[in-house]
């Protein structure tokens, strides 16, 4: 499946984008094409910024939009971890 087809499924949702240089961005996917992704409500991290339990530190980006070049992207996935954790807790209780 092509990138644009996959991105249609996660448009206007929170995603995580990991870049080839190890930086990570978390934000809402607003626009996309074959060359760029536009994210809003963005947080940034780096693969060196981990706490003692291996969790990443996320800090808010001060700009209202972030434009990412697709050719520098290594991975993209939906940011559904918080909702999955909530569901797991409900099942446990």
- Per-residue pLDDT of 58-72, as tens digits, reads 899 988 899 999 999
- Per-residue pLDDT of 1-55, as tens digits, reads 588 888 998 999 999 999 999 899 999 999 999 999 999 999 999 877 777 877 7
Q: How far apart are CA 24 and CA 19, in angstroms?
A: 6
Query: How high is the pLDDT of residue 80?
Result: 80
pLDDT value at 82 more than 80: no
Q: Please give the structure tokens belonging to residue 42.
A: 């963005």
- Per-residue pLDDT of 34-46, as tens digits, reads 999 999 999 999 8
Is 3-92 assigned to CATH 1.10.1030.10?
no
Domain ranges, ordered by start, for the chain: 3-92
């Amino acid at each position: 499946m092509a990138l644009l087809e996959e991105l249609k499924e996660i448009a206007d949702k929170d995603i995580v984008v990991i870049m080839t240089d190890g930086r990570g961005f978390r934000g809402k996917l607003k626009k996309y094409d074959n060359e760029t992704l536009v994210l809003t409500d963005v947080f940034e991290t780096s693969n060196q910024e981990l706490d003692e339990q291996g969790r990443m530190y996320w800090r808010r980006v001060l700009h209202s939009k972030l434009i990412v070049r697709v050719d520098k992207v290594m991975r993209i996935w939906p940011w559904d971890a918080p909702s999955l954790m909530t569901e797991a807790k409900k099942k446990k209780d």
